[in-house]
Structure formats: C-alpha cells, structure tokens
C-alpha cells in the first residue's frame, strides 16, 4: 500500500489519526505474519471438507480486523474452487468459539472506522450465508455477540454441552449489527428472539437446542472438540451426495424462505431445472441400476 507525500499532507487531523492507525495495523500484521485463521483441507473419508480454525487465544477469537480480513479472503478462495463440498468453521482455542467484537481494538477506532468495520462484518456474514456449499459451525465453547452471529450465518450449528451463547450487545448500549436482529427471529420465534436480545441473556447449549438455535448438542470430551467431531460425522454424510444438488438445495431453501410459498415453489422449480442436465444425475441413476456407489464429480 503506497501513498504520495501530497496525499498524506492533505489529510485532515482526524483523518491522519485514522490513517496512522490503519498503517500500523497493516504493517504489524505483515511484519509478524499474524495468522488468526488456520485453513485445513481434509483427506480420506472427509475429502472435500475444508476447515476454518479460528486461532486468537489471547482474545478468545474476538472478531478483530485481521481475523475478519482473513475469513473474507479465504471465503473468496473456496466459494467457487470446485473442490470444497462442505465448510466447517471451528475454534482452535479451548472453551471459546468466538467472543464477538474485539472491544480493545474497537476502543481505538473512530466512529467512522467503527461504522465501516461493522459494515464489513455484516458483509462477511452475508458471504457465509450465501456461500454455495453447506457451512457448519462447530461451537465448542462460548459464542457471544458477533460470535453467535457468525454461527447464525452458517447452515447448521453443532454445540458442545459447555457452550454458552448470547446476543449480548444491548449490555454495551448497541444492537447486534452483523445479522443477529434478522437471522435469530427467522430461526426461532420472533417473540423469543426479542426476549433474548432485549435481555442480553446468555443460554447454554441445551437451551439453545430446545429453542432451535442449534441442531444438536453433544457432551464435551476431554480434548474440548466434541462439537467439531460431531460436525465431521455430519460432513461424512453430506459429502456422499451430489455437489450441484447441494448447491441448488441451499439456494432454493435460502431464497424461498425470504418470500411467499408460490414464489418459493417457483424458485424450487428453477433450481431443480439446474440439476436435470448434470452428469451427476445420470451417474446417480446408473449407480442405482448397477447397485454400486455413485461417483459424483460436481458437473
């Protein structure tokens, strides 16, 4: 990133402060090779599964600028690579999925920077929501604020018994700004979502399963990754199915939920039309006829 001397001298005082902060952050990240996100492409029976491991132990995976940028970049890479069939987002930090916004970093931001960052965060959640493959959140530990919003943007959520969840933003005199006020009421009853947001209540994994916020709750194990382990079992079932069919099923469900039934059925029809000419559909019929396992190629 290069800037001319004339550009720097013409900055207003408040712009100069923000400029210096931005440069310092970018320099620090580049200089020290900070890696807040570890990406792993699994093999064997989990071939086709990509895992995003959030790795900020000192901040309990709080959503800072660096982590958000890395998530955004990696999502762009796998969204259309043709190899990843399922994405799992997990934590590599024990007892913490994601603590939400990085408040220590937020304190040093100007109002303009805060607004821009929240906009980027909202865009990130939308990118996860619209990713053309199934996305599973493996929640082994606490997920507060933006951390829960991250999980809500995923298609499926698996939680461990030690999980604590909550949209706690009203305690900080703000509201959920990365999709929480929209996705939670669509997932559970609007009245119950309002109660949780108004009170900033924290609930455990069992209560979250009862409300329908998470799909399954599993007893935590000694290694602290029970939800991740359960997520891999689910991935093993999903990757056996047709990749194009998974993509179209997700599109039909997501788009249909935002409209009336008649329009939703038309969306389903349009998505179904996309799978009819695929090689995978013919392969599935042939495999059924010859009593063998289908070999899908995503075409």
Return d(Cα 40, Cα 94) in angstroms, integer: 18
The per-residue pLDDT for 3 is: 42
> What residues are paired with 88 via a beta bridge?
51, 136
Which residue from 20, 41, 51, 147 is spatially nearest to 95, judged by alpha carbons? 147
pLDDT tens, position by position, 56-100 = 999 999 999 999 999 999 999 997 788 899 999 999 999 999 999
- Is 210 annotated as catalytic? no
Query: 248 in a domain, yes or no?
Result: yes
Residue 116 domain boundaries: 34-238
Is 169 catalytic? The answer is: yes
Both tokens assigned to 273: 């039309």
The catalytically annotated residue of 169, 178, 180, 208 is 169
171 & 228 share domain: yes
The answer on 247 and 231 residing in a single domain is no
Known active-site residue 149? yes
Picking from 220, 238, 256, the residue at the C-terminal end of a domain is 238
Together in a domain, 113 and 142: yes
User: Looking at the structure, do residues 52 and 102 belong to the same domain, yes or no?
Assistant: yes
Does 22 reside within a domain?
Answer: no
Output the domain CATH number for residue 274: 1.10.12.10
| pLDDT over 60 (residue 19) | no
Task: Report pTM.
Answer: 0.85
Q: Is residue 297 part of a domain?
A: no
Q: Do 272 and 234 reside in the same domain of the chain? A: no
β-strand partners of 144 = 166
Overall average pLDDT of the 176-184 stretch: 95
**Of the residues 48, 141, 146, 180, which is catalytic?**
146
Domain boundary among 223, 238, 253: 238
Assigned token pair, 221 = 């194990």
Domain boundary among 194, 222, 238: 238
Cβ distance 228 to 239 under 8 Å? no
Average pLDDT over residues 111-118: 90
Mean pLDDT along residues 286-291: 90
- Judgement on whether residues 38 and 123 belong to the same structural domain of the protein: yes
Residue 24 belongs to a domain = no
260 and 168 in a single domain? The answer is no
The total number of structural domains that make up the chain: 2
In a domain, 19, yes or no: no
pLDDT tens-digit map of 123-174:
999 999 999 999 999 999 999 999 999 999 999 999 999 999 999 999 999 9
Return d(Cα 171, Cα 154) in angstroms, integer: 25
Please indicate, yes or no, whether residues 144 and 225 belong to a single structural domain of this protein.
yes
CA 177/CA 2 separation, integer angstroms: 32
Catalytic residue, candidates 96, 99, 101, 138: 101
Q: Where residue 18 falls among pLDDT bands split at 50, 70, 90? A: very low
- Checking if the pLDDT of 15 tops 80, the result is no
Q: Of the residues 149, 153, 208, 227, which is catalytic?
A: 149
What is the per-residue burial (b if ≥16 Cβ within 10 Å, else e) of 113-126?
Answer: beeebbeebbebbe
In a domain, 29, yes or no: no
Do residues 77 and 107 both lie within one domain? Answer: yes
Same domain, 215 and 272: no
- Identify whether 175 is part of a domain: yes
Assess whether pLDDT exceeds 60 at residue 17: no
Is residue 100 within 8 A of residue 121, CB to CB? The reply is: no
Residue 230 within any structural domain of the chain: yes
Residue bearing the bigger pLDDT, 21 or 33: 33
Q: What percent of the chain has pLDDT over 70?
A: 89
Instruction: Please state, in angstroms and rounded to a whole number, the distance separating the CA atoms of residues 82 and 249.
Output: 17
User: Using an 8 Å Cβ cutoff, are 141 and 163 in contact?
Assistant: yes
Same domain assignment for residues 194 and 104: yes
* Same domain membership, residue 194 and residue 159: yes
Q: Check which CATH number belongs to the domain holding 196 and give it.
A: 3.90.226.10
Residues 230-235: what's their mean pLDDT? 96
| 146 belongs to the catalytic site | yes
């Amino acid at each position: 990133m290069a800037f001319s001397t004339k550009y720097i001298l013409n900055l207003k005082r408040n712009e100069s402060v923000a400029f210096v902060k931005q440069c310092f952050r970018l320099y620090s990240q580049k200089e020290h090779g900070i890696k807040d996100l570890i990406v792993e492409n699994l093999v064997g029976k989990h071939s086709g599964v990509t895992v995003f491991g959030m790795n900020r132990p000192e901040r309990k995976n709080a959503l800072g600028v660096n982590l958000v940028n890395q998530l955004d970049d990696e999502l762009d890479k796998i969204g259309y690579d043709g190899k990843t069939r399922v994405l799992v987002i997990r934590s590599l930090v024990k007892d913490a999925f994601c603590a939400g916004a990085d408040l220590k970093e937020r304190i040093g931001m100007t109002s303009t920077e805060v607004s821009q960052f929240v906009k980027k965060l909202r865009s990130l959640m939308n990118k996860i929501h619209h990713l053309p493959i199934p996305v599973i959140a493996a929640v082994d530990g606490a997920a507060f604020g933006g951390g829960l919003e991250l999980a809500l943007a995923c298609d499926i959520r698996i939680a461990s018994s030690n999980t604590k969840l909550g949209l706690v933003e009203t305690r900080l005199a703000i509201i959920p700004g990365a999709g929480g006020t929209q996705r939670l009421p669509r997932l559970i009853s609007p009245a119950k979502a309002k109660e949780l947001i108004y009170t900033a209540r924290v609930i455990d994994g069992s209560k979250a399963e009862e409300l329908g916020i998470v799909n399954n709750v599993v007893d935590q194990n000694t290694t602290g990754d029970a939800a991740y382990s359960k997520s891999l079992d689910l991935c093993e079932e999903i990757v056996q199915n047709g990749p194009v069919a998974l993509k179209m099923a997700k599109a039909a469900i997501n788009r249909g939920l935002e409209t009336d039934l008649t329009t939703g059925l038309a969306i389903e029809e349009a998505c179904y039309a996309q799978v009819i000419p695929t090689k995978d559909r013919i392969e599935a019929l042939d495999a059924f006829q010859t009593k063998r396992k289908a070999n899908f190629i995503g075409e």
